Chains A and B, each alone.
Chain A
Amino acid sequence: MDELKVVGSDGIQYIVVRLGDEQYGIDIKYIDNIIRMQGITRVPKVPEYLKGVINLRGEVIPVMSARLKMFLPADEITRATRIIILKLEQHGTVGIIVDEVKEVVTLDSDHIEKVSYDSNTENVNFITGIGKHNDELISLLDLNLLLQEKDNV
């Protein structure tokens, strides 16, 4: 029950989500809300990963596909699919589509390994580190990089 001692001096809480076969962690402080998949209104003339906009209690919020942004195969919408509403200073409120929301974990710096940048895979760009939790690996998403717009995409 170590992880229940939460908010230690350097422990950070992450929400673990599934994208394809991998697990990713999103820093909980950026998360405003988690909602079920709903109808998305397409917006023309935007990059492919931007799926459109949704209505969240009267506010119009853009939604992007984390999978497409990270060059993974397109989303398969299932009952487990969720939209995670993120609130970032720089980008405002944005929703990202994930395959499944699994749990909340607390990781302190001992359990986080910085990523080595010599890897060839492209989506290493979106990750700040790798967390180890109960023998499982969780890629910690760098939300600013994930949400950053790139001209070549």
Chain B
Amino acid sequence: MDVSQYLEIFIDESNEHLQNLNTQILNLESDPSSSDTVNEIFRAAHSLKGMAGTMGYKRMQNLTHDMENVFSEVRNGNIVVQPGMIDILFQCLDALEEYVSNIKESADEGTNDNQHLIDQLNAILNSKGQAAAAPAPASAKKEEASAAEDATTGKKWLDITLDGAQKDVMEEALRQGKKLYGLTITVQESCILKAARAFLVFKAVEEKSEIIVSNPPAQDIEDEKFERDFSLIVVSDVEVKDIIKAAENVSEIESVLGEAIDLSAMNFGKDVKVVKEAPVAAAAVVATETVAERPAPAAKAEKKQTPGKPVVNRTVRVDIEKLDSLMNLVSELIIAKNSLVSISSQDETSHTGAFNEQIEYLESVTTNLHESVMKVRMVPIESVVNKFPRMIRDLSKKLGKKMELYMSGEDTELDRTVVDEIGDPLMHLLRNSADHGLESAEVRQQRGKPEVGSIFLDAYQDGNNVVIEVRDDGNGIDVEKVKNKAIERGSITPEQAANMSDKEIIDLLFLPSFSTAKSVTDVSGRGVGLDVVKSKIEALSGEVEVRSKLGEGSTWIIRLPLTLAIIQALMVVVGGEKYAISLGSIQTIEDIHPSEIKTVQNKEVIHLRGTVIPLIRLNEVLDIESTKSPDESMEVVIVKKGDKQAGLVIDELIGQQEIVIKSLGKYIKQCKFISGATILGDGEVALILDANALI
């Protein structure tokens, strides 16, 4: 059977399970005795094993199998969690991640057996032999015993407990002269698609009979939640051997047991224990025990899941392409709306109130549609930041520094495309903080700081932006050192350096190939970090900023737009051309008389409510003649970026409009301050000014 169609789902789910395992093993490290955590780990490992097996990835299956064995012993209390074991487990997760990424690239798991990891896992397993020799054989014996019992009877349909309704159906069938059969089907051990085989058996049996009940339930069988066998009770007109034959025709089925059953031999819940012959009854009792055992952990799991959020994100996976086409539809709708608006403003005499009403309606529809589509695209940044605690733990070991990562706002939502891209820059910044930021334990002690360094990762929404801050309580940036380094590298001259503010010097860190690390380490310091961070974030139309205080630590602030496709914008006219400015960056709009303009260092500024704001004449930036005469009063749009402000001088205001951002296309190398274009109601194209780039 071809499993390639499941590959995507397999990869997605494997990643989810791996992430879950990572988180839970971290929890286990901090709290080795938590049985909930162990159970959760066991479940995730088990699912992973099952999935890998189904897809035919034997190496992955073997590794997870051995991990599962270890977890199983931990769960049974036979092994005590030790730090060394956690390290091995993490290595196993890395190996599994490698398998998954190999599969992602080539649909093949690769050839690495990771035998050393398996050996280490087995070593852990064997070591428990001495530690807890007593309970192990006992449980093994018990298993053996029940296995033997099963083998002799094999008629597992007798285990099925029936409820009243099912009993009624059976009695009714019997009255109609139909016969009641019990079937137990065992699939071959080598079968990789148990659920598919079971489904075929179901189908074959259903052709000949009606299935009353199955054990485990049909849903579980479909989800492959059964070992190797399952049992059915069916009513039928035909002979039992016909049904057995039909079921046996399905390949990879080891055996099918079946015979007519007597209603009185069945279990009806707990209350009615029908009298039956002794050996059968014994088998049934053993059986009910085993059945009863199974729901127990499940019930426990449910209990555990109710408080807090579900362990695994319940997600609907939507093809990004479909979303994009939906998005385009919305764009068109908005364009249509805009054109209606422009018609209505053109001939004021002819249109009626109803026309306006329709526009308002259309507007509310488009706004809602926009919002709901946006929400589909939004995902919490959790999926990205969840891997960081593990990374910091590893870094802590590698660098020999003690550090702790505190995260907040993991549920902050961002556009899917942004979330996918933001992982690397954040990782760079965190590594940077861990390596360069935090001092060694001795230095920290001398400075009177706690020995364990803290790194904070905070995410929150701020207006139309999402802000992600990476903060550490380490050394901060040594401005003098950066300055010397820059001069040494020839990035700036000593004269320039003397005139630069601290902030400007810190910004030098974002230049390509600039690293102040004294030694190049594995973690950071190759000088490819910060400029990559900056360019990546700018590619997402975001920005990054540093605040630092020597000796107290530094904060890296990343600002990202909430959404990328549709924004509220202010439409302005400069030299007869229309431009859009994102509303998010606009503070106020002022009417300024030319006499209020002062010059500071040859630059035009205005003094507005106590702050000095530099003026930018847009017509000069855009190489166009202003249509206003110099002595007229000017419209000035005050924009801000972080704590910087600027006044953009425009000719005319049009108003606020919702605009759809379109790219200028591959061919035009975008100039820095044009972030895209939009199509206006009359079909004309207007460019979008990036106020941030102008400041």
Which residues of A are interface residues toward B (Cβ below 8 A)? 39, 41-46, 50, 52-55, 58-62, 64, 91-94, 147, 149
B662 near A59 (CB under 8 angstroms)?
yes
Distance of B324 from chain A, by nearest CB (Å)? 13
Which residues of B are interface residues toward A (Cβ below 8 A)? 328, 331-332, 335, 577, 621-624, 662-669, 671, 674, 676-677, 679, 683-687
Complex Cα gap A55–B679 (Å): 7
Distance of B221 from chain A, by nearest CB (Å)? 50
Known contacts A41-B677, A43-B668, A46-B668; A58 and B686 CB within 8 A of each other:
no
B665 near A92 (CB under 8 angstroms)?
yes
Known contacts A53-B664, A53-B665, A60-B665; A41 and B671 CB within 8 A of each other:
no
Q: Which residue of B lies closest to A41 (CB)?
A: B685
Q: Which residue of A lies closest to B666 (CB)?
A: A92
B671 near A45 (CB under 8 angstroms)?
yes
Known contacts A53-B677, A58-B332, A60-B685; A44 and B665 CB within 8 A of each other:
no
B687 near A43 (CB under 8 angstroms)?
yes
- Point out the residues of chain A lying under 8 angstroms from B666, CB to CB: 91-93
Known contacts A46-B668, A53-B668, A147-B667; A58 and B679 CB within 8 A of each other:
yes
Q: Is the interface of A mostly helix, strand, loop or mixed?
A: strand
A44 near B677 (CB under 8 angstroms)?
no
Residue in contact with B665 in the complex, picked from A39, A41, A42, A94, CB distance below 8 Å: A94
Could you jot down 21 A-B contacts, CB within 8 Å?
A41-B684, A43-B664, A43-B668, A43-B674, A44-B621, A44-B674, A45-B671, A45-B674, A46-B669, A50-B668, A52-B685, A53-B665, A53-B677, A54-B685, A55-B685, A58-B328, A60-B679, A61-B665, A62-B665, A92-B667, A149-B669
- Point out the residues of chain B lying under 8 angstroms from A92, CB to CB: 665-667
A93 near B683 (CB under 8 angstroms)?
no
Complex Cα gap A62–B685 (Å): 11
Q: Which residue of A lies closest to B668 (CB)?
A: A62
Q: Which residue of A lies closest to B689 (CB)?
A: A44
Distance of A32 from chain B, by nearest CB (Å)? 13
Most buried by A among B332, B335, B683: B683
Q: Which residue of B lies closest to A147 (CB)?
A: B667
- Point out the residues of chain B lying under 8 angstroms from A55, CB to CB: 679, 683-685
- Point out the residues of chain A lying under 8 angstroms from B331, CB to CB: 58
Q: Which residue of A lies closest to B677 (CB)?
A: A60
Residue in contact with B624 in the complex, picked from A44, A54, A93, CB distance below 8 Å: A44
Complex Cα gap A91–B676 (Å): 17
Known contacts A45-B623, A58-B679; A93 and B671 CB within 8 A of each other:
no
Complex Cα gap A149–B684 (Å): 26
* Given A41-B687, A55-B683, A92-B666, 10 new contacts (CB under 8 A): A39-B684, A41-B686, A43-B668, A43-B674, A44-B624, A46-B671, A53-B685, A60-B685, A92-B667, A149-B669
Distance of B538 from chain A, by nearest CB (Å)? 18
- Point out the residues of chain B lying under 8 angstroms from A91, CB to CB: 666-667
Most buried by B among A41, A52, A94: A41
Complex Cα gap A58–B683 (Å): 8
